Structure 1
Amino acid sequence: MYLRLHLSFHFIQHRWRGFFNCHKMDELSDYLRSRHVPEEDIQRMEQEKMDSSVITLMTDDQLREYLPSYGDRLAVFGYCRRKEKEPTSRKSKLFDRLRGKLSRNKGDHVSETDHQTAPKNAQKNAQKNAQKNAQKNQRKIEIGWVHFREGEFVQVRTKKGGGTRKESVMKDSTKQNLIEKAVQLFIPDGKNAEGSLTDFDIDLTDFQRHSLEDSITVKELYEKTKLPLLRFYLTTKKRDIASDINLVENNSDATAQEGENTHARPDIYHLSTDTSATDPVEISTSDVIFVGSSTVFANENIDSVSLLYTTVNPTDASSLQEHETLFHVGALDDSGIVTFRTDSISLMEYSSLDDTLPLSTELSIESSMPPSMDMFQEQANQRERVKKIIVLHRGQILRELIVVFSEENIMENDFHFKVILPDGKLEKAVDDGGVMRDILSEFWNDFYEQCTMGNGFKVPCLRHDFGKQEWESVGRIITFGWQKEKYLPVKLSPVILEQALLGFVESDLVDSFLKYVSESERVIFESCRSDFEGVDQEELLEIMDIHNCRRLPTADNFEQILKEIAHQKLIQEPAFVIEQWNNTLAPLRSELKGIAAVYEELQPTSRKIMRSMTYPSTQNAQEKQMVKYVSAYLRESDTQHLSLFLRFCTGSDLFTGKSITVSFTQLQGFQRRPVAHTCGCYLELPVSYDHYPDFRHEMNKVLDSNVWVMDIV
């Protein structure tokens, strides 16, 4: 039976192939008759079986023997190309159905010959189905263990009883159920490498270090986060028994009242196997606000981007002792605002403990003392706005920054950036503007490559993974860059921002379009505008077909057609993006009325950069020679290298008006290299170059490497 069906399939396939070839000929003949091609030419092509698949293989000279008219040949070539691009026909679908039927019949034939094993296979399938049905009410989760040590929570390695475990739990499991499961895994028999169960204050957090609510279930968390796999962390911290004793001796009534409040607080969890154990010390988490990123990219691991700040009232003396366990004096930055490490723990089972890096320096013994009231008062007077630290990963700036700015109220807070290198180490840089400018430059360079189309000017292109929220986030980044550092994405076509900001276009559409298309297309278009008859018409028609032109261009209508195509490419196609940016760019309407002029000011030129550079007032002969080398290098550099030079010195690849201060060093040999400090816009140049080509070669090597590590604070 299988052999007969197999032969029948090939017979039908052969018959259908002949039928569809005839069908192709009929369609081509009808198309030629619509163009009033002589009937004898059409019959001649039919006799020699010249269908659309054959014509695509022919040259213009070969087709001239059948179609003398040049216009008919161009039209037929275009018709055949369109037919080749058509989706799968009914013929292919029929073949797929026959193949599927053949494979099913083959399977039936095998099962009949092997009927003795059928009961065993049926039994195995039944067991598998039963297991699947039993697991419908369960979901997979990951559980890790972080322990409080030396002023911060760090994940415990696998060899010390930690690591990350995968478990199946019921969908209706709550926080208490998950804590019990985690205790069984990481504190078996009530003990582990860090101590006994009764020595710890225990809590459970999600992947963003948020303390879980009591009533929320695993099912609700999956529906809320849309993540493929949830991760939880059991947090443990040893209790300060000495402080408990002193507290009881000094104020027993207050201790009793605190004990009652502790048991009434839903966000405090203490597990103990000994019912007679001392009442636990309260660790408050209600005054710590975790600001996490939303799940913009459902398939991406974004738990590494999180923000954390405190809302402790600095004037409330009674709350000072309660928050003593939450921070230390050593965690305060120069601005006087309390900041904490903000990088969440992700993929820790594959990394070592060294990959967990704090954002602050090591805490000294003195830093463990509680902060004074004067210090808190000074902080409150200095700044009322909450300050955040955003941790990003080098090479993932595009996606992570879009996640951060997806929060609508993100612009209401002050924040600085920290960057983690690909090797997991934190860049040794303090964000005093330079890190922020460098992040903006990397973001927009990645954005141009991954989210736009065009040559000189770029136009945002629609992506299936970019919706309303993502494009609004990009709009906030534009607003943020201009307000903080006067940075605009100047490679975006100015008509995009004009339409989004003003609701109309000020710049010339055609000029912007000519900078959008490729260099070869621009040459053809400009030639048509000056001398239409002198342009290769075949090449022009191919280009117009690429841009979906529906009319035959002539000398009279070419300018109008060019304006229509420019409006389609620059305004109509990115209309959805422009609509989302209309509201997010509203704060810039009063500042950016002449966008074309702003673009011109931000473009780097050698003259602008040389005027912004400041040299020492007194210079020796070597230093004067280096000044000449720098001026010569800037004059002969193209726009790309001028942008790289600015980013190397200031962090920004645009000219934002920053003054670059130059100093000279005596570095020689292998240590000789230019050194830049982007926060203060300082450039250190060795004076040991014997010739200008040596300086130019070394500077180009540094700029073209595109591997710059901020390792100087």
Structure 2
Amino acid sequence: TPLLRFLRNRGVPEECLSRMEEEHIDATVIDCMDDGTLSEYIPTYGDRIAARRFWRKMGLESSDENLDQADTSTTTRTRTNAQSNKCALKKTRRIDLGWIHDGKQVRTRKGGGTRTIDVPKDTKKSDLINYSKELFFPNGKCRFGSLETLNYDILDFQEEAVLDESITVGELYSLVRLGRLRFYFSTTSKINLQGEESEGNDVQTIDLDENDQESEPLFNLSSDLDESEVTFGPVSNAEPIPGELDDTIIYQFEGDEQDFISLEIPNTNTSGNRLSPASNDEGSTSAASNEIVCITIKLHRSNLLEEMITQFKDKILLRQTLKFCFIDEKGADADGVSRDVYTTFWTEFMEHIGEGEEVRVPSLPNRWQKQEWKSIGRILLKGFKDHGYFPCRLAPAFTVALIFGESEVSEEMLFESLLLYITQSDRDLVSNVLKSGCPDEDRDELVDLLDRLNVTALPTQDNLKGLLLSAAHKHLIQKPRYAAEQMSSTASHILKESFCSPQALLQMYQEKKPTTKRFLKLLEASPTTQAESQSFRFLQQYIRGLDDPGLRRMLRFVTGSDMICVNKVEVIFTPLEGLARRPIAHTCGPALELPWTYGSYPELCCEMDSILLNQNSFEFSIV
């Protein structure tokens, strides 16, 4: 046996081999014997290891031979079965056939869709065209016209017209090796760009139903508008329903920050004319007059802060006339909506980003970098330039440093800003200590205040003001320095022209701040009856009883701004009574409709309080 020959070649004694042959110890049993038993037949340990390895090698080779024989028999049997199976010799292949008209796939409800058919393997391009005509033009016509008025071709699965006239479907399957091939029947109208018919063809027009009308464009430039404007968002003649405007696009201009674009449209007397390229005729060019386009920006009130910053990253907005509207609100912008937009922006800015109490300075959130702070500077400039709105809750020392530079901030201005930056109780504490010294019962509170301002030195009567000035410089100038520098780069050059000096800026702070006297001076009314005079006195009495936050809310309800940005507020008397009685504000006027049916001051006070405390009252519900 092979095992005995292998052992004989290794020098195993013949008597051992003879004994193995007598007792039938061959390769099939040595792997089942332990080493002690096998040593009785093969004395040497190395020969026993070699014998076991020889057996394993022989076993693997025999297994491979058996497998090869099995595979050969299976393959032979499969080929034999395939030769007798008619399905393996099919002469057709299945394909998908679609329809593309003027670059768009035609849906099933319009006569298109995807059709799955079996075609012979020798089908060529001309045959596919004939199949397409039968499927998509059963009577030689479709909703887009007759076949004679259309240009047509066959596109491959990549929607490219690269099919050779002689190549077959079977050859394509072998070439691209896809599970199923897809072809497209492509048709285009034989109409030129001017809408004229091609020579020798009669174009048939077919009316489309309402479901087939194309949607309104997102970007609309039209000369038949009452006021030329570029609207970003859906354009619809009908009044939008709630939620319809949620998917508006945000206006984002992509270009070099140093480049400016002036959008102009021709002023025509005929409505419905389309924009056309400028004529080369000098006479017609000189006769045409141009008007500046107004950009309307649609915003979500709930996300106004981030959306405004995104919008004003584009420098071009500083040179354009802007109008705003709130999505799902009805207000039309005649300055009132714009004032409300800037007021809402700076209110949210102070609440979410500002640090301080009565006056604040911006913190530096991680998500806002250079471009965001430049955008905020443009918002500051645009609001003041167009509507006279300035966020007077910004600390005066910070604003002076932003516009005129840090060198123009005096110690007195810095100290006054710090007093408004800290809380009212801390303000009273500092004033009392500087005036009368620091009693023992106030010393702990003073040390706690300085600790919150990051002052580590112990205060004394002599060094207290110096410590407070150092803290003021750190919190009002140093910490927000990066924000001030970026905002200054986009706003200071224009604002510096509006304010000739820091004193003029501080004077503006005083004039913009609403006070009882200034508010009452804004009201203009012409009562003609005793009831109207009485209601007007009730209104004046209500305003006299408001604190500073209440005055800002009342002013914003009437004008859209919490700072004084208008010269007057007209009071109009109305006969509303019962459940319908309420004051109605028109911020664009601005005007206030005041019912003359109030019988007492508490009636007006109760209704005004409920309005000013309800946040929904500041949304625009009247066009």
What TM-score do the two structures reach when normalised by structure 2?
A: 0.59
Tell me, in whole angstroms, the C-alpha distance in 2 between the residues paired with 1:440 and 1:628. 31
The partner residue of 1:415 within 322, 331, 336 is 322
Q: Distance in 1 between matches of 2:384 and 2:367?
A: 26
1:112-151 aligned at under 5 Å gives the runs: none
Q: What SS does the aligned partner of 1:508 have?
A: helix
SS in 1 for 2:189: coil
**1:319-398 alignment, distance < 5 Å:** 329=224, 332=225, 334-335=226-227, 337-340=228-231, 342-343=233-234, 369-370=272-273, 383-398=290-305
* SS of residue in 2 equivalent to 1:645: helix
Q: How does 1:425-574 map to 2 (within 5 A)?
A: 425=328, 427-503=329-405, 504-506=408-410, 508-535=413-440, 536-574=442-480
Distance 1:383 1:480, change over 3 A: farther
Q: Which amino acid counterpart does residue 455 of structure 2 have in structure 1?
A: C
Show the counterpart of 2:261.
Answer: none
Distance 1:357 1:501 in 2: 35
Q: Following the alignment from structure 1 to structure 2, what is the Cα–Cα distance between the partners of residues 354 and 308?
A: 14
Secondary structure of the structure 2 residue equivalent to 1:589: helix
Identity %: 30
- Computing the radius of gyration from Cα coordinates, the structure with the larger value is 2
Question: Aligned partners of 1:687, 1:548: CA distance in 2, in Å?
Answer: 56
- Summarize deviations over 1:198-243 as a string: whole Å, max 9, x none: 9xxxxxxxxxxxxxxxxxxxxxxxxxxxxxxxxxxxxxxx99879x
1:495–1:509 contact (8 Å) kept in structure 2:
yes
- 1:274 matched residue in structure 2: 185
Residue 596 (structure 1) aligned with residue 506 (structure 2): yes
Please state whether the residue corresponding to 2:537 is helix, strand or coil: helix
Q: Deviations over 1:13-36 (max 9, x none)?
A: xxxxxxxxxxxxxxxxxxxxxxxx
1:673 aligns with 2:555: no
Deviation at 1:539, TM superposition (A): 2.3
Hey, what's the Cα distance between the residues in 2 that align with 1:670 and 1:525? 51
Letter of the 1:396 counterpart: N
Q: Does 1:191 align with 2:98?
A: no
Q: Which runs of 5+ in 2 are unaligned?
A: 1-96, 115-141, 151-159, 161-182, 196-216, 237-241, 250-269
Partners of 1:384 and 1:674 in 2: how far apart?
38
Instruction: Rate the CA distance shift 1:494–1:355 in 2: closer, same or farther, 3 A.
Output: closer
Task: Using the TM superposition, give the Cα deviation of residue 196 of structure 1 relative to its aligned residue in structure 2, in angstroms.
Answer: 4.1
User: Equivalents in 1 of 2:272, 2:187: separation in Å?
Assistant: 31
Aligned to 2:518: 608
User: Does the residue aligned with 2:597 lie in a helix, a strand or coil?
Assistant: coil
**Aligned partner of 1:524: which letter?**
L
| Cα 1:677/1:241, change in 2 over 3 Å | farther
How far is 1:635 from its partner? 1.2
The separation in 1 between residues aligned to 2:332 and 2:194, in whole angstroms, is 31
Q: Deviation string for 1:181-202 (max 9, x for gaps)?
A: 999xx988x424466489xxxx
Paired residues for 1:255-274 under 5 Å:
273-274=184-185
3-state SS, counterpart of residue 481 of structure 1: helix
Deviation at 1:522, TM superposition (A): 1.6
Q: Deviations over 1:636-690 (max 9, x none)?
A: 1111111111111111111113311111111111111111111111110111111
2:591 maps to 1:682: yes
Q: Aligned runs of 1:157-236 on 2, under 5 Å?
A: 190-193=106-109, 196=112
Q: What is the rounded CA distance, in whole Å, between the counterparts of 1:675 and 1:381 in structure 2?
A: 44
Distance 1:630 1:568 in 2: 45
User: Over residues 104-123 of structure 1, what are the superposed CA-to-partner deviations in whole Å (9 max), with x where a residue is unaligned?
Assistant: xxxxxxxxxxxxxxxxxxxx
- Call closer, same or farther: CA 1:559–1:650 in 2, change over 3 Å: same
CA contact (8 A) 1:308 1:389 kept: no
Mapped pair 1:712 → 2:622: yes
SS in 1 for 2:347: helix
Q: Per-residue deviation at 1:385?
A: 3.1
**Structure 2 residue 544 is the aligned partner of structure 1 residue 644:** no
* Distance in 1, Cα, partners of 2:385 & 2:98: 49
Gap change, CA 1:610 and 1:539, over 3 Å in 2: closer
Report the Cα offset of residue 559 of structure 1. 1.4
Deviations 1:97-137 (A, max 9, x none): xxxxxxxxxxxxxxxxxxxxxxxxxxxxxxxxxxxxxxxxx
Gaps of 5+ in 1: 1-179, 199-237, 249-262, 264-271, 285-305, 311-326, 346-350, 359-366
2: CA distance between counterparts of 1:396 and 1:275? 45
Q: CA–CA distance in 2 between the matches of 1:552 and 1:182?
A: 85
Q: Give 1:125's aligned residue.
A: none
Q: Secondary structure at the match of 1:680?
A: coil
* Separation in 1, partners of 2:550, 2:437: 37
CA distance in 1, matches of 2:507, 2:338: 24
Alpha-carbon offset, residue 415 of structure 1: 2.0
Alignment counterpart, residue 403 of structure 1, candidates 310, 314, 319: 310
